[in-house]
A and B are shown apart, each in its own frame.
Chain A
Amino acid sequence: MSKKEKIPRQMMPEQDPKVRSTNFDEVPLGYTEEQAVLEAKRCIQCKKPTCVTGCPVDVDIPGFIKLIAERNFTGAARRIKGTNSLPAICGRVCPQESQCEELCILGKKGEPVAIGRLERFAADYERNADAVQVPDIPASSGKKVAVVGSGPAGLTIAGDLVKFGHKVTIFEGLHKSGGVLIYGIPEFRLPKDIVDAEISYLEKMGVEVVTNVVIGRGKTVDDLLDEGFDAVFLGVGAGAPVFMNIPGENLSGIYSANEYLTRSNLMKAYRFPEYDTPIARGKNVAVLGAGNVTMDSARTALRLGADNVTVVYRRTEVEMPARAEEVHHAKEEGVQFKLLTNPVEYIGDENGWVKGMKCIQMKLGEPDDSGRRRPVPIEGSEFVIDVDMVVVAIGTNANPVIPVTTPGLETNRWGYIVVDEETGKTSREGIYAGGDIVTGSATVILAMGAAKKTARAINEYLK
């Protein structure tokens, strides 16, 4: 026992910051088998594992870690997949430090078990060994479900519903499936091969994926029900960009994070001109906000050749919503931070291209609804930052296409779909929803957790 605890938390090898800030290859390189086994041996196999209570989909954490310690890597991957169908993705993008790992008992005195890294290792091992098995699909129930949107929520529910024996068709608006996993999160954090592999796995299980169909434009949700789908699941995400509505915001060179990341990731503009879609390559780039999306945009700008990339945020580092690891990676790569700073106006050159961003200094005042101290402007403290490109990454809103075209579908005052939390049921019979379109922009694993519950509810409904 005492010997076990002496093993230090295994670091994952990473690309050197100087090198990686010039390429789009994945930053962390993954554990070797030896490292994974060592790390797995740190887990003390708690009888009442607190770590599991921190995981929104109840992964059998001690169970899969024990299998890794026994070098049964494929077995470990299958154990995880008992409750989490996308481990290679979650192992990479889950905010483990505030979920499973936060509650790991070892974290009390020292460092928690690296659950996320082990999860990633097991899933990568299985995929690279070509050991992924398509589960047996039960006899057809004769029921059909339409899943709108192919993000983590849609992919998860599709997988669960086919395993219940229902026929599933996913409708995706873009030309490529995966939602934010494909168009938002960059290659250097989540290689797209992994997402593609998950989708082809679903297809092997019999899920039909139809791309290039925006439900609500042309075909509506009611059309799907009329066509004979017995239930519809809406996993359409929180896709509409938020701007600040300040003067000059439509100048050339000012992007929403959605546009910037979609150009780079979905359209592969970082490989222009091999791919046709262009992207501005700013030299002095400001990125507004402080979430994961901000860090992804900032690190993308560096990789596209910027000399200076500055994150501009109106609060302080403590309030930054991004994962600690992302902020750390961004800093290592040379992203600068201008905190307690808020833009108030953009200045353009004679061609209408942004050349300056007027900002005001902020200070922290009383706590607001979210419990965070509210930033307040300091009068007369305006100053101008030289920029030739800006990415606005201050959040997203619900896309109104589905609510507006689905009569009787109840939404809240921000436009998110109202559901029963336990079942994902909406105000309309046979229509369910989950993921960001219900919660607002959240996390991959929460979207998956909601989809899992809803899969069970839909299964009951179809009986």
Chain B
Amino acid sequence: MNRIVKKTQLSENVFRMTINAPQIAEKREAGQFVVIMTEEKGERIPLTIVDSDRDEGTVTIIFQVVGKTTMCLAAMKKGEDLFAVLGPLGMPTEMEDFGTSVVVGGGVGIGVAYPIIKALKEAGNKVIAIIGARTKDILILEDEIREVCDRLIVSTDDGSYGVHGFVTDVLKDLIDSGETINRAFAIGPVPMMKFLCEVTRPYNIKTIVSLNPIMVDATGMCGACRVSVGGKTKFACVDGPEFNGHDVDFNLLMNRLRMYNVEEEEARKGCKCHE
């Protein structure tokens, strides 16, 4: 039923997959995600819906191989079926014409940023996208994003492509250049989001982040995904995954993401998908 209809490798560890899921394609909005299981004994993992096609009845995901489940997913081929796909989940991105919006995506977070950029543009915003990666070879979606934004700035940590530096520096330079920014979005690894929020905080630019805590059911039933926002506990799967970054307790999120490091390593070693 949830057949993989297309699979491409975007960089060494990042893949794009298009999956047959007509009911999800029909209803999804930017900012929402799916939960997938590759097989019955597998884990339920959340992945952002990067794009959808209502006519074809498909959704697209982009994922980075980090552990057992994503390894197994990467080993699956076009024509194979996923064991389970559930969605759309989470609250859609709060969307309106804010004026000028800046979306910063780092690493595989560029995939998560793409639907937001697209939706902001459709809502009438002037959209400036800043995308960054450690090095040129692992930068993804440059062409796709260039097509749907007003201005694109690319950076690499090692200077192998685009601006030499971190996305935080690029954002700071952009703000200092006098560009009025009405809304910012920061999506990527947790430390990156944390530092981006520190860049925008002094300027009072509301900055939305997309949080990626560990989830189990992703329907509000278990509380695994709890995050602290403005001192209040929220369930990222139903209250989020997007929150006002200036209120988020990033250290808590980082601690909770490490909860199963030992077990994840064990699972990875036991993975037989590539044999």
Are A217 and B219 in contact, with the CB atoms below 8 A?
Answer: yes
- Indicate which residue in B41, B89, B267 contacts A268 across the interface (CB closer than 8 Å): B41
Tally inter-chain residue pairs, CB-CB below 8 A. 116
Q: Does A371 contact B (CB under 8 A)?
A: no
Nearest CB to that of B24 among chain A residues? A218
Smallest CB-CB separation from A351: which chain B residue? B255
Q: Could you tell me if B217 and A174 are in contact, using CB atoms closer than 8 angstroms?
A: yes
B178 to chain A, nearest CB (A): 40
Give per-residue flags for B197-210: 1 if the beta carbon is below 8 A from chain A beta carbons, else 0: 00000000000000
> What's the nearest-Cβ distance from chain B to residue A401, in Å?
7
Question: A276–B256 contact, CB under 8 A?
Answer: no
Instruction: Say which one of A21-29, A77-85, A99-107, A250-258 lies at the interface with B.
Output: A250-258
Q: Is B223 among interface residues, defined by CB-CB distance under 8 A?
A: yes
Which residues on A sit within 8 Å (CB–CB) of B88?
217-218
**B255 proximity list for chain A (CB < 8 A):** 251-252, 351-353
Q: Is there contact, CB below 8 Å, between B221 and A267?
A: no
- Stretch of A90-98, A117-125, A239-247 with 4 or more beta carbons under 8 angstroms from chain B: A239-247
Distance A351 CA – B4 CA, assembled complex (angstroms): 39
Which B residues are in CB contact (< 8 Å) with A15?
Answer: none
Q: Which chain A positions have C-beta within 8 A of B37?
A: 175
CA distance A212 to B37 in the complex (A): 11
Docked complex Cα distance between A214 and B42 (Å): 20
Residue A272 interfacial (CB < 8 Å) = yes
Q: Does B122 contact A (CB under 8 A)?
A: no
Q: Is A275 in contact with B219, judged by CB distance below 8 angstroms?
A: no
A252 near B259 with CB under 8 A, answer yes
A278 touching B220 by the CB < 8 A rule?
A: no
* A211: chain B residues within 8 A (beta carbon): 84
Question: How far, in angstroms, from A249 to B41 measured CA to CA in the complex?
Answer: 30
**In the complex, what residue of chain B is closest to A275 when comparing beta carbons?**
B41
Q: Which of B86, B238, B251, B260 sits near A278, CB closer than 8 Å? A: B260
Distance in angstroms between the alpha carbons of A353 and B255 in the assembled complex? 8
A173-B86 in contact (CB<8A): yes
Q: Given contacts A218-B24, A277-B43, A278-B263, is CB(A252)–CB(B256) below 8 Å? A: yes
Which residues does chain A contribute within 8 Å of B26, judged by CB atoms?
218
Q: Is A280 an interface residue (CB 8 A)?
A: yes
Q: A267 and B267: CB pair below 8 A?
A: no
User: Which residues in B have their C-beta under 8 angstroms from that of A280?
Assistant: 259-260
Given A218-B27, A240-B220, check contact A250 B263 (CB 8 Å).
no
Nearest residue in A to B271 (C-beta to C-beta)?
Answer: A276
A203 at the interface (CB under 8 A from B): no
| Contact assessment for B219 and A401 in the assembled complex, using a CB-CB cutoff below 8 Å | yes
Q: With A212-B86, A274-B41 as given contacts, are A258 and B221 in contact (CB-CB < 8 Å)? A: yes
Determine which of B68, B226, B238, B258 lies in contact with A250 in the assembled complex, contact meaning CB atoms within 8 Å: B226
Does A219 sit within 8 A of B, measured CB to CB?
yes
Q: Which residues of B contact A259 (CB under 8 A)?
A: 216, 222-224
Q: Is the CB of A276 within 8 A of B223?
A: no
B228 CB within 8 Å of chain A: yes
Contacts A267-B43, A278-B263 given; indicate if A218 touches B221 (C-beta within 8 A). no
> Which residues of chain A have C-beta atoms less than 8 A from B83's C-beta?
175
CB distance from A251 to the nearest CB of B (A): 8
The answer for the CA separation of A174 and B37 in the assembled complex, in Å, is: 11
Q: Closest B residue to A281 by CB, please name it.
A: B263
User: Which residues of chain A from 143 to 197 have any CB-CB distance to chain B below 8 Å in the complex?
Assistant: 173-175
| Cβ contacts under 8 Å, B42 to chain A | 275-276
Distance in angstroms from A5 CB to nearest chain B CB is 49
CB of B155 within 8 Å of the partner chain: no
Residues of A within 8 A of B13 (CB): none
Q: How far is the CA of A218 from the CA of B255 in the complex (A)?
A: 32
Residue in A175, A245, A258 whose beta carbon sits within 8 Å of that of B223 in the complex: A258
Question: Cβ of A249: which chain B residues have Cβ within 8 Å of it?
Answer: 233
CB distance from B248 to the nearest CB of A (A): 12
Q: Is the interface of A mostly helix, strand, loop or mixed?
A: loop
| B85 engages A241 (CB within 8 Å) | no
Pick the contact of B267: A175, A273, A353, A401 (CB < 8 A). A273
Instruction: Check B89–A262 contact: CB distance below 8 A.
Output: no
Interface string of B70-87 (1 = CB under 8 A from A): 000000000000011111
Is A441 an interface residue, CB under 8 A from the partner? no
Are B219 and A263 in contact, CB atoms less than 8 angstroms apart? no
CB-defined contacts of B43 to chain A, threshold 8 Å: 267, 276-277
Q: In whole angstroms, what is the CA distance A241 to B237 when docked?
A: 14
Known A241-B223, A243-B233, A258-B222; contact A212-B84, beta-carbon cutoff 8 A: yes
| Complex CA–CA separation, A423 to B217 (angstroms) | 32
Q: Which residues of A contact B157 (CB under 8 A)?
A: none
Q: Which residues of B contact A214 (CB under 8 A)?
A: 86, 89, 219
Indicate if the CB atoms of A218 and B259 lie closer than 8 Å: no
Tell me if A399 is interfacial: C-beta within 8 Å of chain B.
Answer: yes
Q: Separation in Å of the A229 CB from the closest CB of chain B?
A: 15
Q: Which residue of A lies closest to B88 (CB)?
A: A218
Q: Please, how many angstroms separate the alpha-carbon atoms of A239 and B237 in the complex?
A: 14
| Chain A stretch 181-238: residues in CB contact (< 8 A) with chain B | 211-214, 217-219
The docked-state distance in angstroms from the alpha carbon of A213 to that of B216 is: 15
- B104 CB to closest chain A CB (Å) equals 27
Contact B89 A267 (CB under 8 A): no
Residues of chain B contacted by A174 (CB below 8 angstroms): 217, 219
User: Is the beta-carbon distance between A217 and B89 smaller than 8 angstroms?
Assistant: yes
Kindly list chain B residues whose C-beta atoms are within 8 Å of the C-beta of A400. Answer: 220
Asked if A219 and B27 make an inter-chain contact with CB atoms under 8 angstroms apart, the answer reads yes
Q: A278 with B221: in contact, given A250-B256, A267-B43 (CB under 8 Å)?
A: no
B64 within 8 A of A: no
Q: Is B94 an interface residue (CB 8 A)?
A: no
Residues of B within 8 A of A351 (CB): 255, 258
Among B23, B43, B68, B220, max chain A CB count under 10 A is at: B220
CA distance A243 to B37 in the complex (A): 28
Query: What are 5 A-B contacts with C-beta separation under 8 Å?
Result: A212-B86, A243-B223, A277-B216, A278-B263, A352-B258
* Closest 10 pairs between A and B when the two form their complex, measured CB to CB: A352-B255, A278-B263, A259-B222, A256-B223, A276-B43, A218-B27, A175-B84, A278-B260, A239-B221, A212-B86
On B, residues with C-beta under 8 Å from A are 23-24, 26-28, 37, 41-44, 68-69, 83-89, 216-217, 219-224, 226-228, 233, 238, 251-252, 255-256, 258-260, 263-264, 266-267, 270
A interface residues (Cβ-Cβ under 8 A, vs B): 173-175, 211-214, 217-219, 239-241, 243, 245, 249-253, 255-256, 258-259, 262-263, 267-268, 272-278, 280, 351-353, 399-401
Given pairs A174-B219, A212-B85, A353-B259, 7 additional interface contacts (CB within 8 A): A241-B223, A252-B259, A258-B223, A268-B41, A273-B263, A277-B44, A352-B258
